[in-house]
Amino acid sequence: MDIFKIAETDAGLSEAEIRAALEASLAGRTLRKVLIIPPDFTRFHSNAGFITQVYHALLTAQGAQVDVMPALGTHVPVSESQWKTMFGDIPYGKMIVHNWRTDVVKLGEVPADAVAEISEGLWTDPVSVEVNRRIMDETYDLIISPGQVVPHEVIGMANHAKNLFVGCGGSDMINKSHMIGAVCGMEKAMGRDHTPVRRLFDYAFDHFVAHRPILWVLTVNTAPGGKICSHGLFIGEGRNCLTEAVKLAQQKNIDYVEHGIKKCVVYLDPSEFTSTWLGNKSIYRTRMAMADGGELIVLAPGVHTFGEDKAVDALIRKYGYKGRLHTLETFKRPDAADLRENMGAAAHLIHGSSDGRFSITYCVKNVAKEEVEGVGFKAADYDETIKKYDPEKLKYGYNTVDGEEIYFIPNPALGLWINREKFQQ
């Protein structure tokens, strides 16, 4: 039975309303062993931390064994301090760490002809369907997948089966799905439902995983002033919960600007954004709003590296963010075998570029200027830059600084910004 709760006011759903819906979703179930796969700390504003805490308390009170495995994808494991902030009193020792390179089972593949049809001929290789082995472990009576439906640069709208095939997936699916999204184009995907990568995941789910007892718990949130506001909660065992959540997220998480932004300033919370791999959401989510010839200034006090692991970091440093066509040409070169072996990194390089349409300046404290410039960005000192663009003084949206109009975004992870003029064209 689907349970959909939509807030009646801008204040969002209360914790009591969310808790009641979660309790209702367990009614009539006799559960001995449950796996919860929430997002990691990079999706803190999903409210999945609170949801996981509630489920953990309800289920353990019933005597069930509850395992918690964050859907890391290629991210680094959740630290103990992050765990406490997000998951409260759930013991840190209960965390199961997903390893996308080694801890997966192959269930089959999406055949080449299906991939070609999905991508309109832009990608013609089959894609292996791999998930963490625990998802297929029949000793689990229920798998609970909480997370936020929000615009996403690869799939269009995040969550649902993405939580399995990327968050708990293996290298082939992660790499090729990201490349399919990149070659098909972000502008055709972001903020939409039935995109090429979403259709890829729907196919994989329907053919290989639909028989598993998976309960989706999807939120639609914003975070005004950094405080989580849940506008909707969509719980169900099929796809309908995603379909309905997407409709609300398109209302709550897409901001239209009336003309292209000439100068955009984005702030990256240091507790959430520690690498350009994560911080480039500032580019993904604003590129459809930026004017040609504009400037994107990224205030990134916590960014201290490029990739989330050493191998990806090395690839970013070697090849840089140099645009879609340049990266695709490089990808085919005989001497770029290391890039072909990590297609997720290649896709990330495409996503992290403006394709020369606008400039990108990273303002950092913990990375040398030469290193930032070496990967294709402009570089500026964070402390010097905030003397002019102080995130504590700027308000969300349009501001005037020294007689110049700028657009300020305090958290790029929670929305998508689109130039209405171009979108309507």
Model pLDDT, residue 223: 86
Model pLDDT, residue 423: 65
Q: What is the pLDDT along the chain (425 residues), one digit of tens a residue?
A: 899 999 999 999 999 999 999 999 999 999 999 999 999 998 888 999 999 999 999 999 999 999 999 999 988 899 999 999 999 999 999 999 999 889 999 999 999 999 999 999 999 999 999 999 999 999 999 999 999 999 998 999 999 999 999 999 999 999 899 999 988 988 888 899 999 999 999 999 999 999 999 999 999 999 887 789 999 999 999 999 999 999 999 999 999 998 899 999 999 999 989 999 999 999 989 999 999 999 999 999 999 999 988 999 999 999 999 998 999 999 999 999 999 988 889 999 999 999 999 999 999 999 999 999 999 999 999 999 999 999 999 999 999 999 999 999 999 987 899 998 776 55
Neighbours of 387 (CB within 10 A): 8
Angle at 197 between CA 123 and CA 269, to 5 degrees: 120
Model pLDDT, residue 113: 97
**Rg of the chain over CA atoms, in angstroms?**
21
Helix, strand or coil, per DSSP, at residue 207: helix
Model pLDDT, residue 42: 84
pTM: 0.83
Q: Which tokens is 130 given? A: 């791999």
Q: Which tokens is 425 given? A: 């064209």
* Selection from 323, 159, 174 nearest residue 239 by Cα: 159
Helix, strand or coil, per DSSP, at residue 84: helix
CA distance 304 to 292: 29
Domain ranges of the chain: 3-252, 255-424
DSSP structure class, residue 275: B
Q: Which tokens is 348 given? A: 């990330």
Model pLDDT, residue 349: 95
Model pLDDT, residue 43: 87
Query: Residues of 389-417 as b/e, b for ≥16 C-beta within 10 angstroms?
Result: bebeebeeeebeeeeeebbbbbbbbbbbb
- Per DSSP, the chain holds a count of helices (H) and strands (E) of 17, 18
Helix (H) or strand (E) run with residue 217 in it: strand 214-222
CATH annotation of 3-252? 3.40.50.11440
CA distance 270 to 300: 7
Helix, strand or coil, per DSSP, at residue 99: coil
Model pLDDT, residue 421: 77
CATH annotation of 255-424? 3.90.226.30
